[in-house]
Structure 1
């Protein structure tokens, strides 16, 4: 059954506020998602956990300078 009294212009006017609110929520969530992707998107997997930049530790064994051993 159809509604006996349909006034499309009145319904559009009454629903304008809630529809704008829903659209603003979608925009807000989209901005949060883009911000999250920009903030965390440039990190490499694994990050910097366990890396050491000390050249004495990372140099190959043949090229590292060692102190003379005192007897």
Structure 2
């Protein structure tokens, strides 16, 4: 079978709108993909609210600078404050 219309200029005019629409969607999708990959790279999967950080290169532990030293964490069984002492009444 052959094409019923062989007027290429008329076909170009008819297909211009859909082709521009496809190009716009592709540009938007590519831009969104680049933004998303950048967001994931910046956000990462770092643990949140960790008292101790582990260096990925050496495996050593280090204090989280935002939370203070390793011993400054929340009060627990290890570092509970001593109960207040009262002097005996005479």
Normalising by structure 1, report the TM-score: 0.65
Which stretches in structure 2 are left out of the alignment for 5+ residues? 52-63, 74-90
Indicate yes or no: 2:13 matched with 1:31. no
Aligned length: 58
Alignment of 1:7-22 (within 5 A): 7-22=7-22
RCO comparison, higher one (Cα < 8 Å, 6+): 2
Shift of 1:19: 0.3
- Structure 1 runs, 4 residues or longer, greater than 6 Å off: none
Which stretches in structure 1 are left out of the alignment for 5+ residues? 59-71
Shift of 1:57: 6.2
Normalising by structure 2, report the TM-score: 0.53
